[in-house]
Chains A and B, each alone.
Chain A
Amino acid sequence: MDITGTHFNYYMVCHRKLWLFANNIQMEHSSDLVFEGKLIHETSYQQRSATYEEVAIDGIKVDYFDTKNKVIHEIKKSSKLLDSHAWQVKYYIYVMELNGMEGVTGVLEYPKERKTEEVFLSMPDRERIKELLVEIDKVIHSDKCPGVIHKPKCKKCSYYDFCYSAESEG
């Protein structure tokens, strides 16, 4: 199975989310949060599409690739999970390098917060990504779904109702 940027991102966020997603147990996208994210994506930087390309290779899909300056742009709603977003972009750079593209960098864009973050791939990052790919593969192919992580971020996750629905007696 190709490991996508989403797999990479989810591995950072929650192993259970990764397992469910990879096994096609996805949630119906009816939540306002998901809709908001989609809207931000569609309405921000509209003038860009003419000069930027959407690139898809080896299972990854980069929203905006500035071919001239070799910069990957990734748009997100909130910078709360910055670390996992950065790893997602690092992974994109990594895959592009494997496909023979040198000198690629990335930018994380948070239009709602009017904030951007630059992302670079370092030598230790490359080693870490190789390790992570093995770990991700292990989680995805495990027979058992990882447990609930019980973190504050669970409340905003689309799997919240799935993970937390239960009958408590008494």
Chain B
Amino acid sequence: MKKTYYLFNPGRLSRKDNTLKFTPVDEEGNELKPRYLPVEHVDQLYVLGSLDANSALYNFLGKNDIAVHFYDYYENYTGSFAPKCKLLSGKMLIAQTQSYLKKSKRLEIAQSFIEGASFNMLKNLKYYDNRGKDLMPVIDSIELLRKKLHSTMDVNELMGIEGNIRKNYYDAFNLIINDHEMGIRTKQPPLNIVNSLLSFGNMMCYSECLRAIQKTQLEPTISFLHEPGERRFSLALDLAEVFKPFLVDRVIFKVLNKKEIQVHDFEEKLNRIVLKEKGKKKFIQAFEKRLEETIKHRSLKRNVSYKHLIKLECYKLQKHLLGMDLYKPFKIYW
């Protein structure tokens, strides 16, 4: 399976014959021993350090269909190098736009995203309820809120309910996570460890969804739950809702409760708590491991990875938009 590679160290990436060569540089600018990345195993590159590269490299990456995503010093996504888009379909784009423009159609899809998202949140809560955390009150109130999803009249109303569900859900984090308090959800900037991990994890999930969308004919800027253009590729935000609970949140619970990531993996910078490089590496490792976990898919009747589930979600959405099938969100069934 092709993998995502993360470049933390500053250095130079170049084409060497028909493969990739990464030469790290130290603080004085001296070149260190190069590493070779087999090009046919690379799905995409995340650049979190500073990278030196030339157009020959980008041409080579483009030919091999490898995207490069860049993040700034504060882990904010800044942009991507995307290989030539070969998957364009006018029919698909028009169908997607029409579904956005028709209020009832847009709402129907948006409701499905929240239905899946909240179902998967409940799964997390029930899992920890079975392990001795008393989460029944939260579960009950979310169940009650979920009943209202399909009677909402517009996306704003839906977002209101979604906000309430999420508030309940995040309150439960304080019970699930052993030694850290989540308090209220703070973003931009995250003010404590749990919030910092959530921001980082959600960003990872969002990038993963975007990559899946880019492998289909869906247009990433036309979304249904979020307003198009709310952030660059808002369809990725829509999809991420369904996957965040079991791709991000579960990994956070695990790394904190098993003390794989601890207070010393973070640092305080300008009124924000961010992961140190070592902490980021640990989280990314846990996250990637999660993506590679497999389940037996019920309709495909074979094993698929969590990562592949995101692409299947894109297919289901395509079929819905083209009027072939009704979109049903992915719900954890184990």
Contacts and interface: CB of A to CB of B under 8 A. Distances in A.
A28 B329 contact: no
A100 B255 CA distance: 71
B299 A24 contact: no
B328 interface: yes
Interface stretch (B31-39, B170-178, B188-196, B315-323): B315-323
Interface string B310-334: 0110011011001111001111000
Contacts of A49: none
Contacts of A167: 298-299, 316, 328-331
B2 interface: yes
Given A28-B87, A167-B331, A145 B322 contact: yes
Interface in B282-307: 298-300
B324 A165 contact: no
Interface in B1-55: 2
B209 to A, nearest CB: 15
Contact of B316 (A24, A160, A166): A166
Contact of A23 (B91, B215, B319, B330): B91
Contacts of A161: 300, 308, 311-312, 315
A164 B11 CA distance: 44
Interface in B86-107: 86-92
Contacts of A166: 299, 316, 325, 328
A25 interface: yes
B91 A25 contact: yes
Interface in A116-170: 144-145, 160-162, 164-168
A51 interface: no
A30 interface: yes
Contacts of B298: 167-168
Contacts of A144: 323
A28 B91 contact: no
B89 A24 contact: yes
A165 B299 contact: yes
Given A28-B215, A30-B2, A165 B312 contact: yes
Interface residues of A, number: 16
B273 to A, nearest CB: 38
Nearest to B325: A166
B300 A24 contact: no
Nearest to A26: B87
A161 B299 CA distance: 9
Contact of A168 (B87, B217, B299, B315): B299
A47 B90 CA distance: 41
Contacts of B300: 160-161, 164-165
Given A161-B311, A168-B298, A25 B89 contact: yes
A30 B40 CA distance: 11
Nearest to A23: B91
Contact of A24 (B2, B88, B308, B329): B88
B109 to A, nearest CB: 14
Contacts of A23: 89, 91-92
A24 B300 CA distance: 23
Contacts of B86: 26
Nearest to B316: A165
Nearest to A165: B312
Nearest to B311: A161
A146 B60 CA distance: 39
A23 B216 CA distance: 13
A168 B301 CA distance: 11
Contacts of B324: 145
Contacts of A162: 315, 318-319
B92 A24 contact: yes
Nearest to B89: A24
Nearest to A162: B315
Most B CB contacts (10 A, CB to CB) among A25, A144, A167 go to A167
A28 B86 CA distance: 9
Given A23-B89, A161-B312, 5 more contacts: A24-B91, A24-B217, A25-B318, A26-B217, A160-B300
Interface of A: 23-26, 28, 30, 144-145, 160-162, 164-168
12 contacts: A23-B89, A24-B90, A24-B92, A25-B89, A25-B91, A28-B215, A161-B311, A164-B299, A165-B299, A166-B325, A167-B316, A168-B299
- Top 5 A-B residue pairs of the complex, sorted by shortest distance between their CB atoms: A24-B89, A167-B328, A165-B312, A166-B299, A23-B91
